[in-house]
């Protein structure tokens, strides 16, 4: 690397960036864990709040953080929530197996010891001062740790491949990732966009204070409410959504119609072109207005779930997904993954040739000469790790009849889902959201015993996230090797922190117990819901191969047509709109709640983003100047998002204080 380039590409992993990351791991991670145990939902710590905090503190101390250091903070502060619950899941599994629901569904007697300690053993563990000192935890904790290691290797290796294909060859915009990197540059360089950024932060704070914090404080007077979906606690404000679905029931039964006043969704539309947001709206409208009306008109709802005119949009959307649209989305997603590669295989070939052609050196577009692994090593790491996951499952669950399907789903599914997730992130501001992906693959294994639901079956599609981070590294002039180093360090320390703080919380009081209200009030409902859903999946409603086949054919035709009109990513945008447009997602304890919440938000959010994109392209861009608007829109969107996130965090802290005070002796 030349001297000039070396000066530009400053180190990203420094003692200052590590101090900030350690703060997140050893201060915020236990806070979000405690918030989960008290309320049932993680602490909404917005990474941008911490980034701004560290940027301003360092500036006041006379040594501002570089954009490379801020890039590392941007990439990994959000991993706090991921690792906070990593070793809580084995305890939750042990509780579920030992719970009344576990005995009622018959899993207490058959779940193997590598999932959770048997009920009698767990009763003994409840009396221990240190939870993980019992030998019964060796297998569950070892498996959880191995999965984390597999995750790192597959994500990083596939991240390089997706980066080569979608960033370098396809040159997709990745609007959200690009906007985030532009904000990093604004914080460091203090350009004119900084004033717009901080004004947007202030606007977001004022807005969210008015529509969520104030109604939260005055809840009984404004008909606000807290309610639970599965294990997640949802705050509802009448100032955010207006649902007209019930009013349409007499004219168009089953047709959903809802408008959102959530300004965030309109502002997210600023980052997207109208063609993409129109495709998203077409997906949501065709599913939850036209489709659900036709389902109702032709009386296709199953007898166990007859249509009711009292259903709001979120109820209609969620039930239609369960009985019809999950299968349709799977078929469309398969088409959107394979058909474009079949139509244009040269793109994939060029991506691998590019990795080979540079001979271990980076592309030169940004002036970098950073060495990267050759494609053969990347693919060997990815497929080798996926095969290791298959081998682990076979050792734990030696069933010859499911081995071919494990190879197909874990190896092939992870590989191609990474491409689909990267394509979606490249053209929208939402992530891959196909409900019940893992459940579909496990269901397709054909084995109908309860044990199969507990195997460490993982679809490794995190390469899309790494590809976006590598793009941000290019923009912020950071080395990708620094990112990989930080990824490994944060993962190792995050796992250690999770193990340590869960042990400390257990030492205060066993989990579940009255000291942690959510484990008493929410865990029983969550366990019952999880077990009942798996029992229901086996009835065959959720995954219908005929609908998957028909939707695959329709999706293939749409991909061919969109390719002919030179707009190949319209089908992906259509799927994103139909699946739900939440920014981010949930898993584990929150998977069911996430699916329900995103289904109900799909139509209003798609409409809001479409309106936002029209406002941006037809009003703001011509008035301000298209080039200037493109430079500031990232600061505008991210600033407003950060402002709303600060108020969300403040509200969560008030809840945390309120729920903690009942433990006091007065």
Higher per-residue pLDDT: 510 or 663: 510
For range 447-469, the mean pLDDT: 86
Tens digits of per-residue pLDDT, 398-457? 888 888 888 888 888 888 888 888 888 887 776 666 777 788 888 888 788 888 888 888
Gap between the Cα atoms of 170 and 177, Å rounded: 16
Domain limits of the chain?
3-661
Q: Residues of 474-491 as b/e, b for ≥16 C-beta within 10 angstroms?
A: bbbbbbbebbbebbebbb
Helix residue spans in 509-620 (DSSP H)? 517-521, 523-537, 545-564, 570-579, 591-615
516 in helix, strand or coil?
coil
Band of pLDDT at residue 221, cut at 50, 70 and 90: very low
**Is 546's pLDDT higher than 50?**
yes
For residue 359, is pLDDT > 50? no
Average pLDDT over residues 139-149: 93
- Average pLDDT of the segment spanning 269-292: 90
Encode pLDDT of 505-542 as tens digits. Answer: 999 889 888 888 888 888 888 888 888 888 888 877 78
Q: How far is residue 499's CA from residue 495's CA, in Å, rounded to a whole number?
A: 6
* Whole-number pLDDT of residue 6: 52
pLDDT score, position 654:
77
Q: How many percent of the chain have pLDDT more than 70? A: 85
pLDDT in tens, 625-654: 888 888 788 888 888 888 888 888 787 777
Average pLDDT over residues 78-89: 81
Is residue 367 scored above 50 in pLDDT?
no
Helices (H), 511-544: 517-521, 523-537
| Span of 219-223, 578-582, 618-622 with lowest mean pLDDT | 219-223
Closest-CA residue to 604 (of 241, 235, 80) = 241
pLDDT band at 353 (very low <50, low <70, confident <90, very high): low
Q: Which of 77, 96, 94 lies closest to 128 in space, CA to CA?
A: 94
**pTM score above 0.85:** no
pLDDT tens-digit readout, 233-274: 444 454 567 888 888 888 999 898 888 888 888 988 888 889
Model pLDDT, residue 148: 92
Can you tell me whether residue 190 is helix, strand or coil?
coil
Task: Find the radius of gyration of the CA atoms of the chain.
Answer: 25
Q: Is the pLDDT of residue 227 over 70?
A: no
Which distant-in-sequence residues (6+ apart) come within 8 Å of 25 by Cβ?
80, 83, 490, 493, 494, 497
């Amino acid at each position: 690397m030349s001297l000039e380039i070396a000066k530009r590409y400053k180190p990203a992993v420094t003692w200052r960036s590590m101090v900030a990351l350690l703060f997140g791991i050893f201060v915020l991670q236990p806070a979000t864990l405690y918030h989960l145990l008290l309320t049932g939902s993680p602490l909404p710590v917005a990474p941008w709040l911490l980034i701004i905090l560290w940027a301003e503190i360092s500036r006041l101390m006379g040594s501002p953080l570089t954009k490379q250091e801020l890039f590392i903070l941007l990439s990994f502060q959000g991993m706090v929530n991921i690792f906070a619950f990593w070793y809580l899941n084995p305890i939750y599994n042990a509780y579920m197996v030992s719970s009344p629901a576990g005995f009622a569904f018959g899993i207490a007697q058959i779940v193997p010891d590598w999932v959770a300690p048997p009920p009698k053993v767990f009763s003994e563990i409840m009396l221990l001062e240190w939870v993980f000192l019992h030998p019964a935890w060796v297998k569950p904790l070892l498996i959880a740790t191995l999965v984390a290691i597999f995750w790192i290797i597959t994500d990083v290796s596939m991240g390089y491949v997706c980066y080569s294909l979608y960033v370098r060859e396809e040159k997709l915009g990745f609007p959200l990732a690009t906007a985030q990197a532009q904000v990093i540059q604004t914080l460091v360089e203090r350009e004119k966009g900084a004033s717009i950024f901080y004004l947007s932060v202030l606007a977001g704070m004022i807005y969210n204070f008015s529509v969520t914090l104030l109604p939260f404080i005055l809840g009984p007077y404004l008909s606000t409410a807290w309610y639970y979906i599965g294990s997640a606690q949802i705050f509802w404000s009448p100032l955010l959504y207006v649902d007209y679905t019930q009013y349409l029931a007499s004219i168009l039964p089953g047709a959903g119609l809802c408008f959102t006043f959530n300004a965030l969704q309109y502002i997210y539309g600023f980052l997207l072109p109208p063609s993409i947001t129109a495709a998203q709206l077409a997906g949501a409208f065709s599913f939850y207005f036209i489709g659900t009306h036709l389902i109702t008109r032709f009386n296709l709802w199953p007898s166990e779930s007859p249509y009711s005119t009292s259903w709001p949009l979120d109820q209609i959307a969620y039930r239609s997904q369960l009985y019809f649209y999950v299968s349709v989305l799977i078929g469309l997603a398969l088409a959107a993954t394979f058909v474009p590669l079949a139509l244009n295989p040269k793109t994939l070939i060029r991506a691998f040739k590019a990795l080979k052609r540079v001979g271990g050196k980076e592309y030169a577009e940004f002036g970098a000469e950073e060495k990267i692994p050759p494609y053969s090593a990347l693919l060997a790491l990815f497929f080798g790790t996926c095969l290791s996951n298959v081998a682990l499952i076979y050792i734990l669950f030696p069933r010859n009849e499911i081995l071919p399907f494990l190879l197909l789903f874990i190896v092939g599914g992870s590989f191609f889902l990474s491409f689909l997730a990267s394509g979606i992130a490249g053209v929208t501001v939402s992530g891959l959201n196909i409900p019940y992906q893992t459940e579909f693959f496990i269901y397709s294994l054909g084995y109908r015993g309860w044990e199969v639901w507990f195997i460490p079956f993982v679809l490794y599609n995190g390469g899309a996230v790494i590809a976006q981070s590598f793009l941000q590294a290019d923009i912020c002039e950071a080395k990708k090797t620094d990112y990989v180093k930080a990824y490994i360090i944060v993962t190792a320390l995050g796992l250690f922190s999770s193990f340590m703080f869960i042990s400390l919380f257990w030492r205060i009081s066993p989990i579940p117990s009255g000291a942690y209200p959510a484990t008493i009030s929410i865990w029983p409902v969550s366990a019952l819901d999880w077990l009942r859903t798996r029992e229901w999946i086996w009835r065959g409603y959720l995954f219908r191969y005929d609908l998957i086949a028909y939707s695959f054919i329709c999706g293939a035709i749409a991909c061919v047509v969109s390719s002919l009109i030179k707009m190949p990513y319209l089908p992906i945008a259509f799927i994103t709109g139909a699946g739900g447009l939440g920014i981010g997602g949930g898993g584990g304890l929150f998977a069911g709640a996430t699916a329900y919440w995103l289904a109900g938000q799909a139509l209003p959010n798609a409409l809001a983003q479409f309106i936002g994109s029209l406002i941006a392209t037809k009003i703001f861009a011509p008035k301000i100047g298209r080039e200037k608007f493109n430079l500031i829109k990232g600061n505008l969107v991210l600033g407003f998002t950060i402002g709303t996130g600060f108020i969300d965090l403040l509200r969560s802290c008030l809840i945390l204080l309120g729920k903690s005070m009942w433990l006091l002796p007065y």
